[in-house]
A = this chain, B = another copy of it.
Amino acid sequence: MSSKKVALVVIRRLPRYYRYLSELLLNGVDRISSKDLSERMGVTASQIRQDLNCFGGFGQQGYGYNVEYLYREIGKLLGLENGRTMIIIGAGNLGHAIAGYSNFERRGFRLIGIFDSNKGLVGDKVKGVGIMHSDDLESFIAVNKPDIAVLAIPKVSAQDMLKRLTATGIKGIWNFSMSELKVPDGMAIETVHLSDSLMTLSCKMMQTEME
């Protein structure tokens, strides 16, 4: 049933198209050609057309793309119209920071719970969402069926937690723990490797320093 698998490099470019289209929309632009968009984004027009055609024909020959239509279609591809709900596991600094990140709501993600294994934190509220004890995770998920779990816990507990989450049938993991987690089929994972990212910056600095 599934059309042939879309390359991850293409998927990773969709959010960027989405952001640019969102801005065009805000500026009242109602149509755009791949050439025009390519110049604003600093990519080739070919790439834009190729990328979009992985998912279907959203444009019209001789006209270009309708900004609002394309924006909404890419939103659908990104699953933003599904009204994703999420829970954060780990109410440390990082958990708090993610909870406080207002941009997610703008994209249709809704935080419905925060969990921590420290009983001292239970009952506190972050952005109006209460912190619950990790022991109650399974029962909460069974009732509220969140789409995404955000892992903001130390590396050592991450693998165990993933196992528990797998059993609950949760569909997406946004992983900030250091671990290299393997997820079963039918589950999606996206890892943000902060420490790798900082080392990459440092390496880039080495390169520029010796130019």
Binding site for B on A (CB under 8 A): 1-2, 5-6, 11-12, 14-16, 18-19, 77-80, 82, 84, 92-94, 96-101, 103-104, 107, 109, 147-148, 171-174, 178, 185-190, 192-211
Contacts and interface: CB of A to CB of B under 8 A. Distances in A.
Contacts of A171: 205, 208-209
5 contacts: A2-B207, A82-B202, A107-B198, A185-B208, A192-B194
A99 to B, nearest CB: 8
Nearest to A99: B93
A198 B193 CA distance: 13
Given A93-B100, A192-B197, 11 more contacts: A2-B210, A19-B196, A78-B206, A103-B194, A103-B195, A104-B198, A109-B198, A109-B202, A174-B198, A174-B201, A186-B211
B205 A11 contact: no
Nearest to A106: B195
Contact of A15 (B96, B103, B189, B193): B193
Given A78-B206, A147-B205, A94 B103 contact: no
Contacts of A100: 92-94
A198 to B, nearest CB: 6
